[in-house]
């Protein structure tokens, strides 16, 4: 039984596919999107998060650390990354959850037990499980095992993907996936590279291949003011989606919210988010119109 690294589980998730769902967030992502809401999802390793505002300075973490990596200062606890083994004992004793470990190895059975608890809600709503991330296909064997196990239990399975994966992995996963939530960010390769750290050719080719395989797909577009809300990009995106093989894909526009900063601080990292802007309601409506003009069913949110 393989294990996977999971950084969050959300019950009563109503924005990640049909019905009432449970969303399992797998850790690790090949993209580094500037606007990433879950920066702790990017690293494929366990990470230590620290919230200075919650720290009461009890020093318990320093006392239990077996390698003496924690030091209590006037600004809170400082961890020496070169010594820390990520054993998590500091988080276990932290009374206020100021220190938390992001990422926990979980078995397929463990997760299946958690997913099964939500069955009454799936039954009433036509919901199911969504695997998100990170990029869930970064842990392909684990994901496949989970998807197949859920399939045997007749649980509806959605996979939320960046599309930046090997085509053969994607097509293999597609065999045990009921719905893809496929993220498209930018059509211009250079801008895509600049904002996400990777080229978009593989992503676009994969989307075509996935559509050609007959998989059910919802296209999700984060709408970020100043990045991808210009009409040229929106029209190019809409044209691309409209030309995909198979049935017309539903499009979900996800307006950007400025919530990432707090998480950066927890991870001890800094991003310059100055060029990102929350689109206002009129801009969102205009963006939606572009997709509708191309004959696509576009909605705002989930």
As a whole number of angstroms, the distance between CA 194 and CA 196 comes to: 6
Give the residue with the Cβ less far from another protein, 17 or 163: 17
Instruction: Pick the closest to residue 164 from 210, 105, 227, 130 (CA basis).
Output: 210
Instruction: Pick the closest to residue 131 from 157, 112, 109, 156 (CA basis).
Output: 157
As a whole number of angstroms, the distance between CA 182 and CA 212 comes to: 14
Residues 162 and 136: beta-carbon distance below 8 Å:
no
Binding mask 80-119 for another protein (x = CB under 8 A): --------------xxxx-------------------xx-
Residues that bind another protein (rule: CB under 8 A) add up to a total of 26
Sole binder of another protein in the list 6, 20, 179, 219 (CB under 8 A): 20
Question: Residue 3: which H helix or E strand, with range?
Answer: strand 3-13
- Give the nearest distance from C-beta 13 to another protein in angstroms: 7
Give the residue with the Cβ less far from another protein, 22 or 296: 22
Sole window of 80-88, 124-132, 248-256, 284-292 interacting with another protein (rule: CB under 8 A): 124-132
Using CA atoms, how far residue 37 sits from 251, 254, 280, 291, 297, in Å, is 20, 12, 18, 24, 25
Sole window of 18-26, 78-86, 134-142, 216-224 interacting with another protein (rule: CB under 8 A): 18-26
Instruction: Pick the closest to residue 234 from 224, 244, 248, 246 (CA basis).
Output: 224
What six digits make up the tokens of 64?
């239990």
Sole binder of another protein in the list 43, 125, 169, 213 (CB under 8 A): 125
Sole binder of another protein in the list 53, 75, 82, 120 (CB under 8 A): 120
Sole window of 9-17, 75-83, 204-212, 276-284 interacting with another protein (rule: CB under 8 A): 9-17
What six digits make up the tokens of 151?
């399939």
Sole binder of another protein in the list 58, 87, 112, 286 (CB under 8 A): 58
As a whole number of angstroms, the distance between CA 193 and CA 173 comes to: 26
Contact status: 280 vs another protein (CB under 8 A): no
Sole window of 63-71, 123-131, 172-180, 286-294 interacting with another protein (rule: CB under 8 A): 123-131
Give the residue with the Cβ less far from another protein, 113 or 295: 113
Q: Residues 6 or more apart from 267 whose CB is under 8 A from it?
A: 39, 40, 47, 49
Residues in the chain: 302
By the criterion CB under 8 A, which residues form the site for another protein?
10-14, 19-20, 22, 56, 58, 60, 94-97, 117-118, 120-121, 123-125, 127, 299, 301-302
């Amino acid at each position: 039984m393989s294990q996977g690294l999971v950084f969050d589980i959300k019950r009563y998730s109503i924005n990640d596919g049909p019905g009432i769902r449970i969303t399992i967030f797998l850790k690790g992502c090949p993209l580094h999107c500037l606007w990433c809401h879950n920066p702790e999802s990017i690293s494929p390793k366990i990470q230590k998060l620290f919230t200075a505002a919650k720290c009461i300075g009890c020093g318990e973490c320093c006392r239990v650390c077996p390698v003496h990596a924690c030091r209590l200062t006037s600004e809170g606890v400082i961890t020496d990354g070169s010594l820390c083994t990520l054993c998590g004992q500091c988080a276990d004793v932290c009374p206020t959850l100021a220190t938390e470990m992001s990422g926990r190895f979980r078995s397929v059975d463990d997760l299946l037990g958690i997913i099964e608890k939500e069955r009454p809600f799936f039954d009433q709503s036509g919901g199911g499980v969504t695997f998100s991330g990170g990029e869930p296909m970064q842990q392909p064997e684990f994901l496949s095992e989970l998807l197949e196990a859920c399939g045997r239990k007749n649980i509806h399975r959605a996979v939320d993907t960046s599309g930046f994966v090997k085509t053969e992995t994607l097509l293999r996963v597609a065999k045990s996936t009921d719905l893809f939530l496929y993220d498209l960010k930018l059509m211009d390769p250079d801008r895509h590279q600049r904002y996400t750290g990777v080229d978009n050719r593989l992503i676009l080719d994969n989307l075509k291949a996935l559509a050609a395989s007959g998989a059910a797909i919802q296209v999700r577009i984060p709408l970020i003011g100043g990045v991808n809300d210009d009409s040229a990009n929106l029209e190019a995106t809409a044209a691309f989606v409209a030309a995909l093989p198979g049935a017309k894909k539903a499009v979900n526009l996800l307006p950007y919210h400025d919530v990432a900063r707090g998480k950066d601080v927890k991870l001890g990292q800094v991003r310059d988010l100055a060029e990102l802007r929350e689109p206002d309601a009129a801009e969102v409506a205009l963006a939606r119109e572009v997709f509708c003009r191309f004959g696509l069913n576009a909605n705002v949110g989930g």
